Amino acid sequence: MTHNQELLDFVESTRALCRPDRVVWIDGSEAQYRSILQSMVDAGTAKWLNPEKRPNSLHVRSDPADVARVEDRTFICSEHRDDAGPTNNWADPAEMRKTLRSLFDGCMRGRTMYVISFCMGPLGSPIAHIGVELTDSPYVVASMTITTRVGARVLEALGDSGEFGRCVHSVGKPLEPGSRDVPWPCNNENKYITHFPETREIWSFGSGYGGNALLGKKCFALRIASVMARDEGWMAEHMLIVKLTSPEGRVSYMAAAFPSACGKTNLAMLTPTVPGWKVECIGDDIAWMRFGSDGRLRAVNPEAGFFGVAPGTGEKTNPNAVATLRRESIFTNCATTDDGDVWWEGMTESPPAHLIDWRGRDWSPDCGRPAAHPNARFTTPAAQCPIMAPEWEDPAGVPIDAILFGGRRADTVPLVQEARSWRHGTFLGSIMGSEKTAAAAGKVGELRRDPMAMLPFCGYNMADYWAHWLKMGLRGGDNMPRIFYVNWFAKSPDGRILWPGFGDNIRVLEWIIRRCDDEVKAVETPVGLVPHPGDLNTDGLNLSADDLTRLLEIRSDEWLGEVDSVRAYYKRFGTRLPDALAHELENLESRLDANRAPTTNPTTLRATGTS
C-alpha cells in the first residue's frame, strides 16, 4: 500500500463512481501474478498452453468485435480544439467528462477493481515516469505486469508526494447479481479511449483489447507523454531502439520510427547476415529521449515487455522473437494446435493439417480463411529476448547516433536516403506515408500519411509536434542524430519485392553507420543523399544491377506527384504549419523541376561528402 494521499483519493473516488465488489492492489509478486492468470483460466477467458511447448503461457480469444485499436473512438480532450489538431478526434473536455461519468457510474459492479501502479522506463531513471491504472480486467493486469514495471517497488519510488499519471479503464460490462459472465467482456456499443492532456488523465471504456486497454502503452507512453515532452523539452516517440556493433568493435545506437506491422520488431531483433556484425535490442516500439549531460540525445525504452503482431513472425523473419516467446507469454487471437500450442500465418512454411482458429472453429489449410487474426498479438517479457543489450535498462539511456524513418511503399521512395540536415529530416518524417496494415482501421493497402509513425499516437496538434522537433534540433545543434529514410518494400513494375529485407537490412544499416562516421560519400539527389551503388554491401545477394538501380533511383515524376499530395496534406494544418516545412516542400519541388526526367540514375548525379 501507500501513504500517497493523492493516490489514495484517486482510488477512492474511482471506487465510489464505479462501485466494484472489491479493490485489489497489484503488488508485483509472482504469487499474485500466477493467481491472476489462473483467474482468467477459471473464468474461461484464457487457456493454459501445453507446458512442454510453452511453459506458463496462456492463449486468449477476444470478442470478434474487439480486435484492434479503435482510432475513430479515440479522443484528445484538450481545452481548445486547435490544440488537438486535424489528425486527432477532439472532444470538449467538459462534455466528455459528463459522458464518461454516466458510463462509468456503476460500471464495475460484480467485478474487482485492480490498482496497478506502473513505471514507464527503468525505475530511478530521470527519463522515467509513473502512472496508476485502475481496471476491472484481469487480462489488463496480466499484460501490464509483463509490459511495465508494476507493484510495490513502483509505489516505493512514487513515495508520499510523487506525481503520477491517472488512468482508468473498464470493460464496460457490470455483472448483476446472479448473472453469468462472458469469456471476453466488452461493450462494443460504447467504446471511448479518451485523453485529457492538461491534467495528464486517460479514461478508457468498453474495449479490453491491448492498444485500447493497456493504458501505459500507446495512451500514456505516447499520447500523454508527447504532451509532457513538448512542455518539458524532451521527446516521446513511436520508435524502436537498437544497438549495433561493427566487426571492428564500433558501437552505434539507432532509433527507428515505422508504422505498426511494418517491421519494427523484426529490425529491433535483427539477425544480421553479414559476418562480424552484432545487433542487440534496447526496445521494439517506444523511445523516450532527453538530452544528456554531454548534450547528446539519450533514449530509454519505457516498456518492460513486447506487445507484438504475431502473424509474419517466424524463424526466417525473426528467430530472436521466436526464442523470446517460448515461455511466460500471453497470446491473443492466435490459432491453437491439436497438441496445445499456438500457430499463426508465417510461423512455419507449411500450416498444420488441423487447427482451432482464433474464433474457436475447426480450421484446415483449404478452408479459405486465416487461422489467426491478422492483428493477433503476443505479450512477452523483454528480459527473455536472447539479444537484449546489457544497457537496455540503463537509467541514463543510450546515445542515439541515427534516427530512421520508414514505411511500406511499393514505389517512389528509395531503399535508403539521408537527410541533409535535422530540418530536412523533420520534413522527411512529416511526409512519411505507408500502405495500411491490419493493425489499424481502414482499407489494407491504401496509402496514408503517418508522420514519424505518430499519426494515431500524437497527443496534440501534429503541426505543433513538428515545431517541437525543429525546436529540439535548434537546441541540440551539431549533437543531434543524423536522420535517414528507409523503404524495405519497394517493388518492381511486375510486382516483385526488390530488397530481400530481414537480416539483410544490416547492409543498409552498415551504410548508415559509415555515413555517420563520414567514411563514405553519398550521391546528392533532389530528395536527399543516397548511396553510390558500389558502397552498398550486396555481396552474396541475388540482386541484379537493374534491381539495385531501381532501389536507389529517384523518379522525378513520381516525386512531383508526392509533392502535390503533401501540399494538400499540409493545407490541413493551416497557419500552424511551421514555415520551415513549407520552405522544405518548396525547395523539394524546385529541385525536382530542375532535375525532371522519367528516371534519374544515381550514378550520374553529383557525389557529396556533406549532409
Does residue 312 carry a pLDDT above 70?
yes
Packing angle, helices 138-147 and 30-42, rounded to 10: 140
* pLDDT, tens digit (0-9, with 9 covering 90-100), for 114-160: 999 999 999 999 999 999 999 999 999 999 999 999 999 999 999 99
pLDDT tops 80 at residue 602: no
Residue 439 has pLDDT above 90, yes or no: no
Average pLDDT, integer, range 559-579:
96
**444 backbone φψ class: left, alpha, beta (φ>0; ψ -120 to 50):** beta
Task: Tell me which residue of 550, 445, 439 sits closest to 487, measured CA to CA.
Answer: 550
What integer pLDDT is reported at residue 451 of this predicted model?
97
Per-residue pLDDT at 447: 82
pLDDT > 70? residue 558: yes
In this prediction, residue 603 has a pLDDT band, given cuts at 50, 70 and 90, of very low
Q: 579 vs 226, 454, 466, 528, 571, CA distance in Å?
A: 22, 21, 11, 20, 12
Task: State which amino acid sits at residue 7.
Answer: L
Calculate ∠ Cα 107-147-396, nearest 5°: 130
pLDDT at 600: 45
Long-range Cβ contact pairs of 489-498 (< 8 A, separation 24 or more): 489/262, 489/407, 489/408, 489/409, 489/410, 489/435, 490/409, 490/410, 490/411, 490/413, 490/414, 490/415, 490/550, 490/551, 491/410, 491/411, 492/547, 492/550, 498/415, 498/543, 498/547, 498/550, 498/551
**pLDDT in the model for residue 595:** 84
Distance CA 255, CA 241 (A): 4
Structure confidence at residue 443 as a pLDDT band (50, 70, 90): low
DSSP H or E stretch at residue 115: strand 112-120
Q: Which residues pair with 337 in a beta bridge?
A: 355
Measured between alpha carbons, how far is residue 489 from residues 261, 435, 437, 531 in Å?
Answer: 12, 10, 13, 17
Across the chain, what does the average pLDDT equal? 94
Q: Which H/E stretch holds residue 603?
A: none
What pLDDT does residue 437 have?
55
Q: Average pLDDT in the 589-596 region?
A: 91
pLDDT tens per residue across span 269-278: 999 999 999 9
For the residues 310-333, what does the mean pLDDT come to? 96
Interval 64-89: pLDDT, tens = 999 999 999 999 999 999 999 999 99
Q: Identify the band that residue 445 occupies on the pLDDT scale cut at 50, 70 and 90.
A: low
Where in the sequence numbering do the catalytic residues fall? 262
